[in-house]
Copies of this chain bind each other. A is one copy, B any other.
Amino acid sequence: MNTTKAIAAQAQAIQQTETALIELFVRLAQVIGLQRSIGEIYGLLFAAVRPLTMDELTQRLGISKGSASQGLRLLRSFGAVRMEYVPGDRRDHYVAELELRHLLGGFLREKLQPHLVWGAGQLNEIDRLVAALPGDDQGLLRQRLIRLKRWRTRGQKMLPMMLKLLRV
């Protein structure tokens, strides 16, 4: 039974699944501080059963060429998306890498790690400054710095732990 009606119903089901997956990845993007458009692109690619062109992405998501181009570049740099060759078509076709670790690992590497590195340096700087403090204040601040340093250590431990959990 493949009536027009049945086909329409299936098309709607596909549509709804896409929408729900896009929504999921848009929120994930939000959580890790990436643009909504990047969530949309990855979501649609994740839901797609075949490689999509940039043109299809802009059309179906209603985003501009610029957004699509930049978004895809970032996703490729993360390794979350790759280009797939399609014979007889010179346009680039994109597919999602299904392992989420690419997406999350890219985020950890590019967004989180730099801050941790900077923080370590800043703590040394603060150390130096506290040494020049008047004696009574100095004791108090030294105690607090010790706490901060414990957190630097924890942060440095947490990142590899998360990366390990992601098997990156």
Residues 126 to 143 of chain A near chain B (Cβ within 8 Å)? 126, 129-130, 132-134, 136-137, 140-141
Q: Is A90 an interface residue (CB 8 A)?
A: no
Of the candidates B17, B115, B133, the one whose C-beta lies within 8 Å of that of A13 is: B133
Please name all residues of chain B whose beta carbon is closer than 8 Å to the beta carbon of A23 when the two chains form the complex: 122
Q: Chain A interface mostly helix, strand, loop or mixed? A: helix
Number of copies: 2
Q: Within the complex, which residue of B17, B27, B118, B154 is in contact with A126, where a contact is CB–CB below 8 Å?
A: B17
Size of interface on A: residues with Cβ below 8 Å to B = 47
Interface positions of A (Cβ within 8 A of B): 9-10, 13-14, 16-17, 20-21, 23-24, 27-28, 30-31, 33, 46-47, 49, 98-100, 111-112, 115, 118-119, 122-123, 125-126, 129-130, 132-134, 136-137, 140-141, 144, 147-148, 151, 154, 158, 162, 165
The contact sample of 20 A-B pairs, CB cut-off 8 A, is A9-B132, A13-B129, A13-B132, A13-B133, A16-B129, A17-B126, A17-B133, A20-B122, A24-B119, A24-B126, A24-B148, A28-B119, A30-B115, A31-B111, A31-B112, A49-B140, A98-B144, A98-B147, A100-B148, A100-B151
